[in-house]
Amino acid sequence: MKQLVVISGKGGTGKTSVTAALAGLGPAKVLADCDVDAADLHLVLQPEIKERWPFVSGEQPSIDPNLCTECGLCRTHCRFGAVSEDFRILPEHCEGCGVCDYVCPVGAVSMRPRVCGEQYRSETRHGPMAHAALGVGEENSGKLVTSVRREAKSLAEDRGFELVLVDGSPGVGCPVIASLTDADLAILVAEPTVSAVHDLKRVHDLTKHFRMPAALVVNKSGLNHDMESELLRYCELEGIPVLGSLPYDPIFTKAQIAGQSILEFDPNGLGENVRTIWSRLETLLA
C-alpha cells in the first residue's frame, strides 16, 4: 500500500483543493484529513459519517476543593502555570504531566482521561474517509493526526485498497511530523511568493530530515514570475520532481462555494492540470 501526503510549509497554499482534486483520479483509495486543526476537506467531499468516537489522549487533573488544604505545593511545582490562585486547574495551560497529583500531600488531585476531540469514519463520493475534529484549544494534535492516519490505513487494508491520500497539516511542527510518518511520498504545494518559497525550503528540510521523497505542485502559478523561477530553480537544485502547476484563478473559490473539487467544477480547464499532475505522480510511484 502507498501513502501520499499533501503538505505545505504554509497554510492557505491550496493543499486541501489539491487533495480533493486528486481524490477524483486514479485507483480506489482511502482519504484522510490530517489537518485536524483546520480540517476543511469535508467541506468539499461532504462525507457521510458512518461512525464517530471520542479521541482520548493523556490525562487531565482536577482538584477536589473539599480535600484541598491550599498548601500550594501543586502551584509551586507546576511548570506550566496551570494551577490558578484559587486552586483550580486551567485546562488550556495543563500538559497533563501529573506533577500536581504526585506532590499533593492529601490526595486532593485526581487524574482522568482527557477527551481532546472526535474521530470519524465516513463515506464520500471518492471513497472512504478518515477524519477528525480537534477540540477547540486542545493540544495533542500530533497524536490525533497519528490516530487518523492509523484509521485510514486500516480502512485501506479492510477494503484491499492500494492507496491512501492524506491532506496534511501546515507548518513544520508536531502535526506535520505526525502526518509524514510512514508516508511514501510528500506532495509539497507552494505558491510563488516570498514567504511561501521560504516555507517550502523549511518543509523540504523536514522531509529530508525524515528521508522522505518529495515532489512539488506549484499553485497560484503566474502570480509572480521571478518567484516561480526561484521555486523551480530550487527544485532542480534539490532534485525535487515538479508534478505540475495550477494557475492563479478565481475558479478555486467558485469550486469551493459550489462544494466541488476543481477537477469536478472545471474538468476541461484546471481539471486538465490536475490530470497532468496525477499522471506524473503515477509515474513517480510506479
Partner 1 sequence: MKIAIASGKGGTGKTTVAVNLAAHLSRRGIPLNFIDCDVEEPNARFFLGIDIGDTRVEQVPVPVIDEDSCLGESCRKCVELCRFKALICMAGTVMAFTELCHGCGLCELACPADAIKEGTRDIGESGIGRKDGITFFQGLLRIGEAMSPPLIKAVKARAENSGLTLLDCPPGASCPVVCSLQDVDYALLVAEPTPFGLHDLNIAVQLLRELHLPFGVVLNRAGMGDERVERYLEKEAIPLLAAIPHERAAAEAYSTGALLIDGVPGFADRFSDLVAAIEHQTGRTLG
Which residue, 9 or 161, has its beta carbon nearer to partner 1? 9
Residue 170 burial by Cβ neighbours in a 10 Å radius (0-12, 13-18, 19+) = buried
Q: Write down the residue that cell numbers 523549511 correspond to.
A: 202
Among 28, 67, 115, 194, binds partner 1 (CB under 8 A): 194
Question: In what side-by-side order are the strands of the sheet with 127-134?
Answer: 48-63, 109-124, 127-134, 29-33, 163-170, 2-8, 185-190, 214-221, 242-247
Question: Using an 8 Å Cβ cutoff, are 157 and 65 in contact?
Answer: no
Note whether 198 binds partner 1 by CB under 8 A.
yes
Under the binding rule (CB under 8 A), the answer on residue 99 touching partner 1 is: yes
Helix (H, G, I), strand (E, B) or coil at 60: strand
To the nearest whole angstrom, how small is the minimum distance from the Cβ of residue 72 to partner 1? 15
Q: Taking CB under 8 A as the rule, does residue 28 contact partner 1?
A: no
Piece of the chain touching partner 1 by CB under 8 A; list 21-29, 131-139, 145-153, 239-247: 131-139
β-pairing, 109-124 vs 127-134, is: antiparallel
Q: Are strands 48-63 and 109-124 parallel, antiparallel or unpaired?
A: antiparallel
Q: List binders of partner 1 among 146-175 (CB under 8 A).
A: 170-174
The C-alpha cell at 70 is 491550599
Assigned C-alpha cell, 285: 510511484
Q: Strand, coil or helix: what is 106?
A: coil
By CB under 8 A, is residue 105 in contact with partner 1? no
Query: CB-wise, 156 or 260, nearer to partner 1?
Result: 260
* 245-284 residues near partner 1, rule: CB under 8 A: 248, 250, 253, 256-257, 259
CB closer to partner 1, 97 vs 232: 97
Residue ranges of E strands in 72-173? 109-124, 127-134, 163-170
Q: In Å, how far are 9, 17, 24, 53, 186 from 217, measured between CA atoms?
A: 13, 12, 17, 35, 11
Nearest distance, CB of residue 124 and partner 1, angstroms: 16
Q: Which residues contact 267 (CB under 8 A, 6 or more apart)?
A: none
- Binding string, 55-84, against partner 1, x = CB under 8 A? ---xx-----------------x-xx----
Of 68, 97, 242, 285, which one interacts with partner 1 (CB under 8 A)?
Answer: 97
Q: Which is nearer to partner 1, 16 or 122 (CB)?
A: 16
From 74, 71, 72, select the one nearest 62 (Cα to Cα).
74
Site size for partner 1 (CB under 8 A): 59
Which listed range, 25-33, 148-156, 189-197, 238-246, lies at the site for partner 1 (CB under 8 A)?
189-197
Q: Distance of CA 20 to CAs 14, 95, 185, Å? A: 10, 35, 17
Piece of the chain touching partner 1 by CB under 8 A; list 5-13, 150-158, 233-241, 261-269: 5-13
Binding-site ranges for partner 1 (CB under 8 A):
9-13, 16, 37-38, 40, 43, 58-59, 77, 79-80, 92, 95-99, 102-103, 134, 136-139, 141-142, 170-174, 177, 191-195, 198-199, 202, 205-206, 209-210, 220, 223-224, 226-227, 248, 250, 253, 256-257, 259
